Amino acid sequence: MRHEDTGNTENTENTDMLTARALVKSYGGVKALDGADIRLRGGEVHALVGENGAGKSTLVRILSGTLAPDDGSVLLADEARAGGIAVVSQELSLFPDLSVRENLFPHRPPRRFGLLDRGAMDRAARPVLAELGLDVDPRTLLGELPLADQQLTEIARALLRRPRVLVLDEPTSALSAAAVDRLERVLRTLTGRGIAILYVTHFLEEVMRFAQRVTVLRDGRVTLAGVRREETGVPDLVTAMLGGTPPLPVHRTRAPAEGPPPVVLAGVCVPGRLTDVTFTVRAGEVVGVAGLQGAGHLDALAVVCGRTAVSAGRVHVGDRGLPRSLRQAVRAGVAFVPSDRKRYGLMTDRTVWENATAVSWLALGRGGVMPSRSELVRRTLDLTERLRLRGGPHDVVTRLSGGNQQKVVFAKWLATDPRIVVLDDPTRGVDVGVRAEMHRIVGELAAGGAAVLVASTDLAELTELCDRVLVFVRGRLTGEVSGGRLTEHELAAAMQAGADLRAGPRGEGPATAGG
């Protein structure tokens, strides 16, 4: 990446602090960025929006210098070069067991006689903390702070490097309404000092509230380039994000089976997560759940998978009641494809066949105490052929591509003939071809009489896969979108409904929904 000089400018207000031109970045055959431009001006909040996979994260990583573009350039104004670009990422990169003070100076803490100079640390930190309105004792352990304060600590840490460009990557995704108000004041203070802020977000209300300009990415291209807030509106932004003409809803002729539904939740409450949630999923049906982060849709999946205790209500999964553990859920016929497949889905250092038999043989005992290995491999081969997995049963999983790894996760559950299939972001990080194949498999599962529940950060996926989508807002089931209304626009609107009150039932606290 080239950081080139531009002409000297005396006034920091409203001058270009950073200019990126024609950035291109490909991963394998997939173009994450395809000629993206962006210009950040001092003293402005510039919002960057786009769907998941639109290229926002790639752009942020190129701007911050952690990723080199294949083509294009990033130009930084002279005055911005000293402080550089500070990034506050959506996953906090803080040390919960250290004090706030120690977290603020991770690289070169001020020292005296070779020991940490706490006084100097506090003197440097105090004005920054005061500016952010973060009134905490610097000796407090960071992990004891509420999430919003942890985030401000991270912003403070970034500001201590005196950057002229600050990137906030989805800073409000886990914040309460009060904390978002405070963040707004912080943004105003920072822009008042002439700092250029790039504000990456999902929430369009925030764009309209905080930002002076907005850039929209779709499929690695800029579809709306740095327009002023006054010149646009939420409908325009949605169109820019999702594409010009909304695709017609896909019509399906799936008929849910008669008989008792395999998944029933009635009046289910989970303290701080779910309030009075009632829904059923019938055999042969594909039902989506949608919501903003922390809205409770993932908690509903966790209940079905036996990962969450329920304080009130009735739950019926398979032929049994509430599963009290993952194992009970699996025995009741639940298959769970987690979003983080490396952590929860796979033994990456093992072969395909060992992974593919991990549920059917190891958990459910099909095959007995000591089946022949060739029998296990043969069963795996049937599955890998059905899934068109590229790789043999004896290949080690870590050597497969992301899409093929996800197929291994599917294979281990398909081996059990599950009655209830729970998918959390089933096509995260896989290419378009694999995505289509996954959708085909899900369709086959439903046709075979499975009840399917899907969550996805990709709204298009929900509209393509689902017969109906349940929308959650602040822990409540607030609506259902189905049939001809099942479009990304409808879903986005339903999810954002009441988002300005996004205090959440849990209020301000470090707890986040399990994912």
Q: Which residues bind other proteins (CB under 8 A)?
A: 326-327, 329-331, 336, 338, 343-350, 354, 357-359, 361-365, 367-371, 373, 412
* CB 358, min distance to other proteins, A: 5
- The residues, ordered by sequence, that sit 6+ positions from 9 with a Cβ below 8 Å of its Cβ are 15, 77, 78, 79
| Greatest Cα pair distance in the chain | 78
Exposed / middle / buried, residue 334 (Cβ in 10 Å: 0-12, 13-18, 19+): buried
85 SS3 class: strand
Q: What is the CA radius of gyration of the chain?
A: 25
As beta bridge partners, residue 455 has 289, 424
Instruction: Report the distance separating Cα 362 and Cα 346, nearest Å.
Output: 14
| Residue placing its CB nearer to other proteins in the complex, 33 or 397 | 397
| Residue placing its CB nearer to other proteins in the complex, 12 or 360 | 360
Helix (H) or strand (E) holding 199: strand 196-200
| Residue placing its CB nearer to other proteins in the complex, 268 or 346 | 346
* CB 334, min distance to other proteins, A: 9
| Nearest Cα to Cα of residue 20 among 222, 236, 190 | 222
Give residue 446's Cα distance to chain centre: 26
User: In this structure, are residues 306 and 328 in contact, taking their beta carbons and an 8 Å threshold?
Assistant: yes
Residue with tokens 């992990």: 143
| Residue placing its CB nearer to other proteins in the complex, 224 or 420 | 420
* CB 372, min distance to other proteins, A: 9
User: In this structure, are residues 75 and 19 in contact, taking their beta carbons and an 8 Å threshold?
Assistant: yes
Distance linking the first and last C-alpha atoms of the chain: 35
* CB 290, min distance to other proteins, A: 23
| Residue placing its CB nearer to other proteins in the complex, 87 or 445 | 445
Is beta strand 30-41 parallel, antiparallel or unpaired with respect to 16-27?
A: antiparallel
Residue with tokens 């036996």: 306
Q: How far is CA 30 from CA 36, 53, 74, 424, 432, in A?
A: 15, 11, 22, 23, 9
* CB 344, min distance to other proteins, A: 5
- The residues, ordered by sequence, that sit 6+ positions from 220 with a Cβ below 8 Å of its Cβ are 25, 31, 32, 33, 34, 35, 36, 54, 55, 58
User: In this structure, are residues 274 and 304 in contact, taking their beta carbons and an 8 Å threshold?
Assistant: no
| Residue placing its CB nearer to other proteins in the complex, 160 or 451 | 451
| Nearest Cα to Cα of residue 88 among 192, 225, 201 | 201
| Residue placing its CB nearer to other proteins in the complex, 124 or 396 | 396
| Residue placing its CB nearer to other proteins in the complex, 8 or 374 | 374
* CB 331, min distance to other proteins, A: 7
* CB 317, min distance to other proteins, A: 13
* CB 302, min distance to other proteins, A: 12
* CB 514, min distance to other proteins, A: 12
| Residue placing its CB nearer to other proteins in the complex, 230 or 349 | 349
| Residue placing its CB nearer to other proteins in the complex, 359 or 492 | 359
Single-letter residue type at 173 = S
* CB 349, min distance to other proteins, A: 6
